Structures are given as C-alpha cells and as structure tokens.
Amino acid sequence: MRILVVEDDRDASELITEALRCAGFTNTQVAVSGRDALEHLNGAEEPFDSVLLDIQIPEMDGIAILRNIREREEYKTTPIMMVTAMSQQSYIDKSFSYGASDYLIKPFNIEEMIQRLQQLKKRIHETSKDRQQFHGADDLIRMFKDDYSFDYDEPLPLSDVPNMLDYTAFENYVLQLGRMRLLTSSILAIKISDRSREFAGIDKTGFTALLRDGAHAISDCSGAGKTRISYRGAGLFLCLRRSLFRLSTYDLEQHLERRLGKYTTMIGGDNALVFAASEEVPLRRASRTGMLSLLHGVIEEAEAKTAERQNRGSLPRSFLSAQRQSAEQRKLKKRSYKMLLNEILMDESGQDRLMVEDAQTRRLTR
C-alpha cells in the first residue's frame, strides 16, 4: 500500500510517517508543497492508495489539492485524511464537502491517529477490492448481471447528489462537529423501504434512481445548503442539519411520498413504499464519544417505525432493530462501543501520558 503525505513541516512529516509505520504502512512518500504534491500524483505509475493532506502548505493550499485529486477518475474513492492545525468549522465543512474521508486536528493524540489509520487501512482494502472487481474474461457478463441484481444492504454510492457524504466520512464529520458542541446542529435518520422489505421487484438501476431522488427530496425538505446526507445501505439515510428550527418528520415523510410515488408501479402496486423518519436529535446532547451512540439511536428509531408500518406489530424496539441490521449498522454499533471503551481505558491510565507534548510535537501547530 502506497501513501502520499503532503506536509511542509519536517518534524510533522516525520511524526506522521512514524505513526503510519506503527499502523502497518511502510511505503510512504512525502511532498513538501502543493506543486510537489501534484508532481507526485502526475508521476505515479499507479494511483496512491491513500493521501494525508495538510491545509497550510506553500504554493497551493491543501483544500485546492483535495479538489484536484477528487477530479481525477482514479481517485474518486481513494481515502483522503486532512491532518492540519486548522480547527475552524469552515475548514472542516470545506474539506468534507470537497471529498475528505477524515479530518485530524494538530496537535493530535498519537493513539487516536493510529486508530484512525487502522480504519483508513480498512477503507483502502475496500477500495482496492472495488478497483479489481471487473478484471478478467467474464467482465462483460458480470457487469450485465450487476445491472439487474444488487445487495439491498449495500451502501450504493450517490456521489452526484449535492452535500452527500459516504458513510465513513459522515461519521468522521459528525465526530468533528461533536468536538465543537454546536447549538444548532442536529441529526435524524430516514428509512425508505417497501412491503417486500428488500425491493424484490426493482433492478439496481431503478433502485439507485429511487435512492437518488430520495436524497434530493431529503435535501430539499431539510434545507439544502445546511444539510449533509449519507446513505448507509438497506434504504437508510442519515441527515445532519444546521437550523434553529426543528424539521417536521411528518412533513418530511409526506414530501418523500409525493416525490417517490412514481416508483410504486415499478415495485408493485399502490402504497408499496414505506417512509419513516426518526425525531431530530441535537448533537449537543452527546459527548464526542457518545456521538456514534447517538447515530445508532436515531437509526434504531427509524428502523422501529418502519417495522411497525410494515404490519409487523408493535414489538419492542430492541427486538425490531435486531431483526435486520445492515453490515454498516452493525459496524457503527461496534465502533461506538469501542470508542466508549477506549475513553474509559484512557481515563484510567492517564490521558496526558498518551499526548505527545515534547518540543517536536508543539511545532505541529504551525
């Protein structure tokens, strides 16, 4: 795995390279300016597996480089982590809007960075599998079949929808906002399902079109310019809003019903679609480590409402949520527990011991 680190500070790049080595990444290249980064990208025989970007670098800032990278077809899904001292919300918003996968603020906790890099490693593995998916003599047949069959639980990419983040970037974005304790940010989950519970009467092209229209409808109803949306698979969307006014879940569900009504004939009859939205929950209610639990909570509520509307009865929410969870929902629950456990262990062992506070690390705030 090949990693490009774009960092003009020598001490910072050495520290990042060492953290990468501890996480199992030994093949790294360092660029010290914007022009140098573009030369590395243009001269690479094969695309880098991941990029770590500072924002304040000479000749071309990191966000401009991020945009340049995302415009390249071979880097559309490459994991990109911003590693920077810029903690302002405007920089975080721009970074995720232009395609960042994660955002780490200097000076950083070395243990946290290694954990984030391990998550990055999983993303790289998933991305490399996607790149290799259609190689070999049977490509044409497999691509043809892929248009007619799909995994309902799969988080299909909807990158052409404004303000859309993939599920990992969305979680990392929420975690960053959780540090700020923003008073106007809130989150809710929206589930689009059908009576068959797996959209058995529709092909992948039709299902993707339905999801895309659904994402546009959610954005329109919740305030397009102040909304971030993520699709997690199994018909489930997460929506982060910034507004002083709460969104009516009833109005949202009615808007979805009007916007997506045309798909009922494709699926099989009137009232085939089921829409359910959780209540909107302010981010200020949770600590940073409680953010993922908060995400799981709104997902659980939307799943429970969906199950009730699919005529499955008023069963306990814990039972309903256990009946069908996508792989990404199970990962989210596991990750929320893991973060909570790590916080407890760090508190017990003394968090200050894990912070790098020597003269070398202080220079990371440049």
Q: Encoding tokens for residue 63?
A: 């966000």
User: Does residue 359 lie in a domain region?
Assistant: no
Helix (H, G, I), strand (E, B) or coil at 292: helix
For residue 170, what are its two tokens? 């969305």
**213 — pLDDT class (breaks 50, 70, 90):** very high
Res. 326 pLDDT band, cuts 50 70 90: low
* Shared domain check, 258 and 114: no
| Residue 310 maps to a domain | yes
- DSSP H helices in 223-326: 249-260, 264-267, 291-309, 317-323
Asked if the structure places residue 295 within a domain, the reply is: yes
Give the pTM: 0.77
Residue 162 shares a structural domain with residue 43: no
What confidence score (pLDDT) does residue 130 get? 54
pLDDT digits (tens, 9 = 90+) for 344-366: 555 544 444 334 344 344 444 44
In the three-class reduction of DSSP (H, G, I as helix; E, B as strand; rest coil), residue 106 is classed as: coil
CATH number at 191 reads: 3.30.70.270
Sequence-distant contacts of 9-17: CB under 8 A, at least 24 apart: 9/54, 9/363, 9/364, 9/366, 11/360, 11/361, 11/363, 11/364, 12/54, 12/106, 12/363, 12/364, 12/366, 15/356, 15/360, 15/361, 15/364, 16/52, 16/83, 16/113
Residue 316 has pLDDT above 50, yes or no: no
Domain co-membership, 124 together with 78: yes
Q: Which pLDDT tens digit goes with each residue over 257-273? A: 888 888 876 766 555 78
Of 84, 109, 133, which one is at a domain's C-terminal end? 133
Give the orientation angle of helix 89-97 with respect to helix 167-180, to 10 degrees.
180
Q: 283 near 174, Cβ under 8 Å?
A: yes
242 phi and psi, to 5 degrees?
-125, 105
Nearest Cα to Cα of residue 175 among 121, 115, 126: 115
Q: Pick from 223, 202, 302, 209: which is nearest to 259 by CA?
A: 209
Mean of pLDDT values over 133-156? 58
Q: Evaluate whether residue 36 is within a structural domain.
A: yes
Residue 123 structure tokens: 């993303």
Phi and psi at residue 185, to the nearest 5°: -95, 140
The confidence score (pLDDT) of residue 148 equals 52
pLDDT value at 192 more than 70? yes
| Residues pairing with 276 in the sheet | 191
Where residue 58 sits, what CATH number does that domain have?
3.40.50.2300
| CA torsion, ordered 294, 234, 217, 255, to nearest 10 deg | -90
Residue 353 within a domain:
no
Mean pLDDT lowest for which of 3-12, 150-159, 251-260, 319-328?
Answer: 319-328
Predicted local confidence at residue 37, as pLDDT:
96
Helix (H, G, I), strand (E, B) or coil at 229: strand
- How would DSSP label each residue in 29-64? EEE-SHHHHHHHHHH-SS--SEEEE-SS-SSS-HHH
Q: How many domains does the chain have?
A: 2
**Three-state DSSP state, 224:** helix
Residues 195 and 332 in one domain: yes
pLDDT value of position 108: 81
Residue 360 lies in a domain: no
| Separation CA 184–CA 188 (nearest Å) | 13
Based on the domain organization, do 240 and 341 belong to the same domain?
yes
Looking at residues 299-307, what average pLDDT do you find?
91
Q: Which pLDDT does position 65 carry in this prediction?
A: 96
In 3D space, the residue among 77, 40, 74, 75 whose CA is nearest the CA of residue 60 turns out to be 40
Give the domain extent around 185: 142-347
Q: Which two tokens stand for residue 11?
A: 């001490």
| Rg of the chain over all Cα atoms, to the nearest angstrom | 21
110 shares a domain with 250: no
pLDDT of residue 52: 95
Q: How far apart are CA 34 and CA 66, in angstroms?
A: 10
- Examine the domain organization and report whether 83 and 148 are in the same domain: no
Query: Which of 133, 159, 176 is the last residue in one of the domains?
Result: 133
By the 8 A CB rule, do 99 and 159 touch? Answer: no
Shared-domain flag, residues 308 and 182: yes
Q: Name the maximum alpha-carbon separation found in the chain.
A: 68
Assess whether pLDDT exceeds 70 at residue 95. Answer: yes
Q: What is the pLDDT averaged over residues 27-51?
A: 94
The percent of residues above 70 in pLDDT, for the chain, comes to 72
Please, where are the H alpha helices in 47-166? 62-70, 89-97, 110-131, 139-146
- Judge if 55 and 179 occupy the same domain: no
More confident residue, 341 or 31: 31
Higher per-residue confidence, 301 vs 288:
301
Distance CA 137, CA 194 (A): 37
365 domain-assigned: no
Together in a domain, 199 and 237: yes
Q: Is 118 a domain residue?
A: yes
Q: Which residue has tokens 């995720």?
A: 96
Task: Please check whether residues 188 and 75 belong to one and the same domain.
Answer: no
Predicted pLDDT of residue 170: 92
Both 237 and 318 in one domain: the answer is yes
CA–CA gap between residue 320 and residue 303 (Å, rounded)? 7
How far apart CA 280 and CA 41 sit, in angstroms, is 42
Quote the mean pLDDT of the chain: 79
Q: Answer with the one of 93, 115, 133 that is the final residue of a domain.
A: 133
